[in-house]
Amino acid sequence: MKSHEQWQTHDEEVEHRRLLLARATKGDTKAQEDLLQTYGVRIYSKQEKSRLVYENVKPVRASSGVTRKRKEGALKRNPPK
């Protein structure tokens, strides 16, 4: 593999990087290592992504104030008997 100083044109480097990214996402460890060493980028394959365990909790969507105001307005117009 060529180092980043050896590219003739910017387009050659971009094309090589695109191919490396494609191979890395398919699980090619050599391409993953090259991307990490050359560009400082860690790419996970589809298999690696499927094994990830997320610790972030999905936020609960709060109801908007408009809904509460509508409910309060409805109670004022039709008070309980």
* pLDDT confidence band for 22 (50 / 70 / 90): very high
- pTM exceeds 0.85, yes or no: no
Residue 9 phi/psi, 5-degree rounding, is -130, 165
pLDDT digits (tens, 9 = 90+) for 35-80: 999 899 999 888 888 888 777 777 777 665 555 555 555 556 655 5
Q: Which of 9, 32, 12 is nearest to 20 (CA)?
A: 32
Which pLDDT score is estimated for 46? 86
Q: Which residue has the tokens 């400082």?
A: 40
For the ranges 3-7, 16-20, 67-71, 77-81, the lowest mean pLDDT is seen at 67-71
The three-class DSSP label of residue 51 is: helix
